[in-house]
Amino acid sequence: MGPALAPYLPPDELYPLAGVRVVLQNLSSADAAELASRWHPALFRHMLDWPDDATVEATRAYLRRVLRRPGVHAFVVRVRPDLDAAGITGLVDLRPAQRCAEVCCTLLLPNYRGTGVFPETMLLLLQVAFDRLRLPRVRWRTAAANAAARGALNKLGVPVEAFQPAADVARDGTVHDTVVYRLLHTEWPALRVRLLAACGLPPAVWQPRISAFT
């Protein structure tokens, strides 16, 4: 039997998620200039969508496509103390009646990969899904060829649920094989411990909050 159903989370309810090192600030097209100065289109290899080029205008158009995705809550990943932008991430299909959510559009800049930024980002997102919305499952979908994404999830011990040949079509028409990862609410406590260890954070200091962005 799954956890008790939480109230529906309105799609226009915006909130930053603040951890110890990572803050997830609500993404907007106004973030285009900062992100365009930090990433380049080659980082989006094996993803389904990407900016057309490295300009602010192309980045803004890409962010608008992300934000138009039905049911998405997208965030800029920022790192303390200076709140530098480290990438983007999001949750989609936040519909408790459907009993599932998906972590989507995650992209970290290379200098933040292999650090505690990714596990703390997952901690913040999964806390919303499991502890606030009390969903029974969360999934990730990634291209089978995306070694960086698969490596990060495998390192955390997130189980593979399925391999789906030719399951997704990218913006340029390229067909991708897809690997689906999933986490059940019964598996969340154990993963939470692993995520805290990966971040180097003892449970006593982990007090994430949904609050005004500061």
With respect to residue 89, please indicate whether it lies within any of the assigned structural domains: yes
- Measured between alpha carbons, how far is 212 from 140 in angstroms, rounded to an integer? 28
Q: Is residue 78 part of a domain?
A: yes
**In this predicted model, what pLDDT tens digit does every residue of 57-92 receive, in sequence order?**
999 999 999 999 988 899 999 999 999 999 999 998
**pLDDT at residue 138 greater than cutoff 70:** yes
Contact 38, 109 (CB under 8 A): yes
Asked whether residue 211 is domain-assigned, the answer is no
75 is a domain residue: yes
Residue 68 lies in a domain: yes
Q: What is the pTM of this model?
A: 0.88
pLDDT digits (tens, 9 = 90+) for 29-56: 999 999 999 998 888 888 888 899 989 9
206 found inside a domain:
no
Strand blocks (E) in 41-136 = 73-79, 84-95, 100-108
CATH number of the domain bearing residue 172 = 3.40.630.30
Domain count, the chain: 1
User: And the tokens for 2?
Assistant: 């799954």
Q: Which domain holds residue 76?
A: 17-199
Q: Residue 11: inside a domain, yes or no?
A: no
CA distance from start to end of the chain: 39
